[in-house]
Chains A and B, each alone.
Chain A
C-alpha cells in the first residue's frame, strides 16, 4: 500500500476505534522530511500502544538525534490496540509510520526498544503487522534491518531469533555508527550477510547469528561461542564517557498519554549496589549531568513543548551531588511557570524531605519511598539498609509538614525470606500509619505497593531461584489480611505476571521458539494484566519440550554458564558471585563512593576514561584488587 492509500483507508474507519488520535501523527515537534532528500529511513518502534510509547525517553533521544542528521529521516511506529489491529488486519493495512504513513516494511532500518521482557510477543506482533518476516534468517536485502536495544536486551538470547542485531548498552554513539555502516553497505549493494558482519565488528553490537550455544545433558549451557575466530568472544556494552546534553525537541502528543511531561535524566548509573536491582548493575558507572546543563535543558524543553510538568530521572536522585542547588534553581522556574515537578527515587531520610520542602507550592503530588525490605535480615540480604527509625522519622517529617499521603514500596519473595520477614513489612506499615494518625489524624493515607522479586541477569541474584507461587500467595494473603485497615491501601503484583517475568528474564536461546509459539497461540500485550495468556505460554513451553520451572525455580550452580555470559556489562561475574554469597551470609556492602570494591567497570572502560579526563565517574581512579575468587 502507498501512504496515500493508507491515509484514504484510515479516514474510512478511524472513528470506529478508541482514541483514533493514536494513529494519525501530526504532533507538534514531529519531523517531516523529503524522502527523496535523505539516504536512510529509520522507523523507531515501541512495541506497545502509543500512550506508553510516546513518553519513552530512549526513543525520544534517538528520534531527536537521528533527525539532526540530514542524511537520515527517523519516524515512529507503535503497536495498535486490539480494536485497531483488527481493523487493520481486516483491510490488509500494514503497520505504518505516523509521520509519512509509509509501510514499515519499506524502511531501511527498524529500531525497536525492548525495555522489559513482557514486550517480547508484542515485538513479534509488530513485525507481523509490518509484514516483515519474523525470523531474522528469513529476511533478505528487501527487508529492513531489524535492530533492538533497551534494558531487557542485556539478555538478548530469548529474542535472538527475531532480531538481526542488538545494541548492548547506551545507544547514543553506536546508533550513529550503525547508520554509517548501513549507508556504506547500501552504496555497495552487498549481500545482507555482509551488513551483519560489518555490524558485528562495532563495539557494543551483538549479532546473534554469529554465535552458537552448546548445551549440557541437564539442559544447562555448556558454552556460547562465536562460530569462528572472526567474532569476539564477549560483547561489551557501550557507554558514553560523558553524558551528552539531553534532547530538547520532545514530541508533544495531541492526545493524553500516560506521562505528559518533559523528562530529563540527571544522572546515569547508581553506586548503591542493591543486589536485586538490574538497572543498578547494568548502567554503571555513575555519570552526572552538570546542573547548568539540566536547568538549560529544562528551560529549552519547556519553551519548546509547552508542558507544565517536568520529571528529573535517575536511579537515586538524592545521590546526585548537585541536588540541593538544582532544586533551589528549579524553585525559581516553577514559580514562574506554575510547574508540576516530579523527583522520583529519593533516599529515605530527612534531607530528601528538605529537598521536597523546597518544592512545596509546586504541584508536587506525593511521597514515594522504597524501603523494599522491613526485617533486618532481608535488608542485609538485598543490601538496602534503611533503619526503621530512619523510615519512621522521615514519615513523621512528611506528615507533620502537612502532606497526607505516603507511598511505600516493598518486595516479597526474596532469597532466604520467611513469613516473619513478611510480617515485618506489615508491622512497619502499621507503625507508619500510626505516625500519620498522630500528626494529621484520619486524613493520613498510606499506599503500600508489594511487588514480587524476580531474579535478574547481571545481578548478584542471577543464581537465585524465584519464590514458589504458593508461597507468594500465602505471603500476599498475610499482608492483605494484616493491612486491611482504614488509612492503608495495598497493591500487589499478579503472581502469573511475576512468573512470566521470572522465566523470560533469565531465558536462553531456546525460548525464541516458545515466544514464537505463544504469539501464534494468541499471546500479546503480556504486560497488561488482564491480557496475560498463561495457557498459551504453558502450551508453548510444553510443545517445545521446555519446562518453565527450569528457568524460574532452579537455584543455579556456582559455575553455571548463563545464557547472557557472553554479554559483558563491565561488572565481573566473580564479583557478582561474591556479592551473592555475602548476601546469603547477611553481609552488607558499602556504597562504592565510600570505597571501590573492584566490580570491574572501572577497568573495563579504563581506555575511554583515559580518553576523557573530564569524565567524573565516582569510581576511585586506582581500583582495589578484586576480591572473591
Chain B
C-alpha cells in the first residue's frame, strides 16, 4: 500500500554540479539500493512516483531541499510511525552518495497538494568570497528595496524583481566573509533569484557562493 513521505535533504559537495533531472535518477537509485519498495505510475512504462520541489541552480549547495516520495512499505514489520521514519532516514542515508543526506522525513496524506504548489518562498545565503563591508551591503539593499519597481530582463522577458524580495539580513562575524541572507518568493509565477539581486547591485556573481537553506511552505498545507 502506498504511503507518501515529505523529505527534507541536503544537496552539497559534488552533487551541487548535478542537474535537477539527474538528481531524480540519483533519488531512485538511492531508494532501490536502500531496498525501499517504490510506488510506480500506471501505464506501459511504469516509472517510480516522485515529486520534487523547485530545481536548485547548478553549482549551488542546498541545505533544506524538499521532495515527496511514495513508498510501499506494507511488507515491513509493523512498528510505530516514528520508528518507521527513523528507519527510512537511516536506510536512505546509508545508500546515498556523498552530499545527499536526509535531515527530516514525515508521512503526509496521500492526496495533499504537490510541493511546488505549497512552497511559498525560499531562503538563500549569498557568501562574498572577496571582502565586502557589511554596512555597504546594508545600504545598497536598503536603497534597492526603496525603489517602487526593479525592472529586469530574464530570458528576454521583462519582470519586476522588487516584489520577489521578501526579506533580508546581512551577517558578518569577525574573521568570516560577509553573508547576505535573503528570502525570496518561490512560487510558480514568481520565482526570485538571489544572483539577480546581486547582479542588480553590480556585484560579479562569480565571486559569490550561493546556497539555498530553506524552503518555506504555506502554513495550512492540507486542503481540508
Contacts and interface: CB of A to CB of B under 8 A. Distances in A.
The 3 closest A-B pairs by CB, nearest first: A26-B14, A306-B29, A306-B32
Contacts, number: 70
Interface of B is mostly: helix
Interface residues of B, number: 29
B136 to A, nearest CB: 23
B59 A14 contact: yes
Interface in A4-61: 11-15, 20-21, 23-28
Given A12-B206, A254-B15, A338-B40, A26 B98 contact: yes
B206 A303 contact: no
B97 A306 contact: no
Contact of A24 (B17, B29, B33, B206): B17
Contacts of A303: 33, 35
Taking each of A26, A28, A254, A305, which has the highest tally of chain B beta carbons within 10 Å of its own beta carbon? A254
B22 A306 contact: no
B159 to A, nearest CB: 23
B97 A25 contact: no
Contacts of B32: 302, 306-308, 337
Contacts of A28: 29-30, 33, 95-97
A252 to B, nearest CB: 6
Contacts of A25: 14
Interface of A: 11-15, 20-21, 23-28, 252, 254-256, 260, 302-308, 337-338, 363
B58 A26 contact: no
Contacts of A14: 17, 59
A262 to B, nearest CB: 11
A117 to B, nearest CB: 32
Interface of B: 13-15, 17-19, 21-22, 25-26, 28-33, 35, 40, 45-46, 58-59, 95-99, 206, 209
Nearest to A27: B97
A15 B22 contact: no
A260 B46 CA distance: 18
A305 B95 CA distance: 9
Contacts of A363: 45
22 contacts: A14-B17, A15-B58, A21-B14, A21-B18, A21-B19, A23-B17, A26-B98, A27-B14, A28-B29, A254-B14, A254-B22, A254-B97, A255-B18, A256-B25, A305-B29, A306-B28, A306-B29, A306-B32, A306-B95, A307-B32, A308-B28, A308-B32
Contact of A306 (B19, B31, B58): B31
A11 B207 CA distance: 10
Contacts of A338: 40, 46
Contacts of B33: 28, 303-306
Given A12-B206, A254-B22, A306-B30, 17 more contacts: A13-B206, A14-B17, A15-B58, A20-B17, A21-B14, A21-B17, A21-B19, A23-B17, A24-B14, A26-B97, A252-B29, A256-B21, A260-B25, A304-B33, A306-B28, A306-B95, A338-B46
B97 A256 contact: no
A304 B59 CA distance: 27
A236 B81 CA distance: 64
Contacts of B97: 26-28, 252, 254
Nearest to A254: B18
B48 to A, nearest CB: 9
A254 B209 CA distance: 22
